[in-house]
Amino acid sequence: MPIAVKIINHSDHPLPAYATALSAGMDLRAQLSAPIVLKSLERTLVPTGLFIELPAGYEAQIRPRSGLAVKQGITCLNTPGTIDADYRGEIKVILINLSAEEQTIANGDRIAQMVVQSVEQVTWEPAESLSVTERNAGGFGHTGKS
Ligand SMILES: O=c1ccn([C@H]2C[C@H](O)[C@@H](COP(=O)(O)OP(=O)(O)OP(=O)(O)O)O2)c(=O)[nH]1
Ligand SMILES: [Mg+2]
């Protein structure tokens, strides 16, 4: 599905792309004039230079990259981040350094991945009671207990 995209300051940055034939996500790159040094537990908002126009009925999710998480302890704080179909601003990524050491993010680093998905909007039908199910109100680890 083609969607409108604009990328700024992209001289050395390709448009995000699927890395393999069946990849769900496209990696997003940091668009930085200088590296960001993140202390342990520090968070920051990283620009990507990317602006997109999603069709109605779609969202984009910003998700962490597992490699960055396992190697450097860097993840997205608000995962999954939500890009609304009516958002026309720059896509930015909220990263946090959960490692004990300082971590550096450089211009062009692949910092997160974006997954485009269809979404439903719902309307409410106020009800006095809800249908009974096997689970009913059980949750938070209630299954498997004798
Ligand atoms: O990781 C993210 C999350 C959000 N956004 C942008 C797109 C999204 O459409 C907008 C609002 O995001 P969200 O609804 O998560 O934030 P909010 O705190 O509820 O802000 P708002 O009141 O603007 O909705 O910010 C990003 O660029 N990156
Ligand atoms: Mg919001």
Residue nearest to atom 2 of ligand 1 (CA): 81
Residue 6: what pLDDT? 82
Q: Are the C-beta atoms of residues 62 and 81 closer than 8 Å to each other?
A: yes
CA-to-CA distance for 26 and 42, rounded, in angstroms? 25
What CATH architecture is 24-118?
Answer: Distorted Sandwich (2.70)
Which one of 28, 45, 79, 82 would you pick to mutate in the ligand 1 pocket, going by the greatest count of ligand atoms within 8 A of its CB?
82
Task: Name the DSSP letter for residue 101.
Answer: S
Residue 12 has pLDDT above 90, yes or no: no
Mean pLDDT of the region 106-121:
96
Name the pLDDT band for 2 (thresholds 50, 70, 90). Answer: confident
Considering the entire predicted model, what is its pTM? 0.94
- Provide the pLDDT for residue 1: 85
Q: Say what the pLDDT of residue 11 is.
A: 64
Q: Which residues line ligand 1 (CB under 6 A)?
A: 62, 78, 81-84, 87, 91-94
As a whole number of angstroms, the distance between CA 130 and CA 104 comes to 51
